[in-house]
Amino acid sequence: MPPYDLVCFSHLRWDFVYQRPQHLLSRCARERRTFYVEEPVFDGTAPALEIRTREHGLRVVVPHLPEGMSEGAAQLAQRALLDDLLERSEVHQPVLWYYTPMALPFSEHLDALATVYDCMDELSAFRGAPPTLRAREVALFRRADLVFTGGQSLFEKKRAQHPNVHAFPSSVDVAHFGAARAARSAPEDQAGIPQPRFGFFGVLDERLDVALLDRVAAARPDWQFVMVGPVVKIDEGELPRGTNIHYLGAKTYAELPAYLAGWDVALLPFARNESTRFISPTKTPEYLAAGKPVISTSIRDVVRPYGERGLVRIADTPAAFIAAAEAALSDDRVAHQARCDAFLAGMSWENTWERMSALLEGVIAERLSVTPAPLTQPLRGGARRATETQQVAGD
C-alpha cells in the first residue's frame, strides 16, 4: 500500500467539542500526515490560512477571509488557499475525507487517491442548514468511493444512495470514561450542587427537549439537573430556568469523567424532531462506560440496541421520565455495570479506525490494480501564495 496524506473537510471546529472526527482523525495522524480543513472565518483583510498543530502532528487549517465576501468569491479564495497549502506541503494524490458536502465546490478539482464521506449526521435536518446542502450531498455521493454513517438508522437511509456504504455507530474510550467510577475530587462548580443529580453533557441546541426538561425539573424540585456544554444555534432564553437546573457551560473532554462521577443518573433528553431522527449519540456508550444509569427519549439509535437490551431506560413524557428516574435511583449498580461492561467489551475508537482503514485500503488497492498511476507527481493548483500562521498544540 503506497503512503498517502489525508485531507479532511469539516463543518466542526477541532477545538470546539471533542467527538467523532477528533477520535478518528487523531488516530489517523499517528500513521500519516493529516490536514483538518475547517470552515472559513470571515475576519480578515485578505485571504490567509492559519495552521495549528495538534496531537500527533495533525494540522488544523483555518481559512481567514474578508468580511462581506460573496459565496462565489469565498469558494475561489478557499480553492486558491488549499491548492497553495498542498503544493507547499508537497501533498500528492491525497485521500479526501469529507464531513460536509459544502466543501465540495472548492475541493472537487483535486486529484484524489480516494474519496471518503463520513456521514455522521443528517446535516440538512439541522437548524440553519444551507439550502444547497442536499444537492451537494448528492454530488458528493457520486464522487465518493466509500461512505460511512454515524449510526444504523442513518445507514438505512443512505445505503440506497451509494453502492459502498458502511455503518459505524458511535464508539467509546472505555478507559477514559471508566475513570468516573473511581473519581474522588469534585469539580468546584458542581461540588455545591445537592443530590440526587441528573446530568447531561453535550451541545445544547435545537435537539434538546427543553419542554421535557422544564416540566420534569418543575415536578421534582428536590432533584438537581446539571447541564454541561455550550449553547449553540438557540437563544439562551429558550432554555428552561429553575433553581434546580444548573448550566455549567462547556468543559473539555478531559474534564467530563469528573463531572460524570458526581451524577446519580445520566440523561439523553433529546427532542423528537427532524434534527434528531438519525442521530446516534456518542454520549450513550460514554455514560455507560462511566457506570451510570441512563434515561433517554426514544431516539431510534438509542432504543436499538441500548433500550432493547435493557441498558438504557426509554421515556418520552414527563411522567414516564420521572418514573424511570425513580427506578434508576434504586438500580442495582453492580449488576447494571456488569451488563454494560459486557456490552461495551470490544467497542473502541481504535477498533473503529482500524476497520475504516481496512475498507479504505481495499478501495485504494482496487483502484491501483485497475489504473496504476504514479504517486510522485506534484499537485498543480496554480494558486496564489497564502500567509500562514503556525501555532503549537495547546494554544
What's the farthest any 2 CA atoms get from each other in the chain? 68
Q: Are strands 146-149 and 224-228 parallel, antiparallel or unpaired?
A: unpaired
**DSSP per residue, 21-41:** HHHHHHHHHHHS-EEEEPPPE
Residues whose CB falls within 8 Å of the CB of residue 233, separated by 6 or more in sequence, listed in order:
126, 127, 128, 205, 206
Amino acid 44: pLDDT? 81
Give the DSSP H/E element, type plus range, for residue 88. helix 71-88
Domain edges within the chain: 6-171+348-391, 174-344
Phi, psi of 259, deg, nearest 5: -70, -45
User: What whole-number distance in Å separates Cα of residue 30 and Cα of residue 5?
Assistant: 12
The grid coordinates listed for 121 are: 449526521
Q: How many helices (H) and strands (E) does the chain have?
A: 13, 16
Amino acid 355: pLDDT? 97
Amino acid 386: pLDDT? 39
Amino acid 371: pLDDT? 58
Pick the CATH number of 174-344 from 3.90.1150.10, 1.10.287.3610, 3.40.50.150, 3.40.50.2000: 3.40.50.2000
Question: How many other C-beta atoms are found inside a 10 Å radius of the C-beta of residue 210?
Answer: 15
The grid coordinates listed for 181 are: 467510577
Angle between helices 20-31 and 349-370 (to 10 degrees): 60
- Please identify every stretch of the chain with a pLDDT value under 70, giving residue numbers as ranges: 1-2, 371-395
Model pLDDT for residues 124-140, shown as the tens digit of each residue: 888 778 889 999 999 99
Pick the CATH number of 6-171+348-391 from 3.30.380.10, 3.40.50.2000, 3.30.1490.120, 2.70.98.30: 3.40.50.2000
Tell me if domain 6-171+348-391 and domain 174-344 are identical in fold. yes
The answer to whether 121 and 207 are in contact (CB under 8 A) is no
Amino acid 193: pLDDT? 97
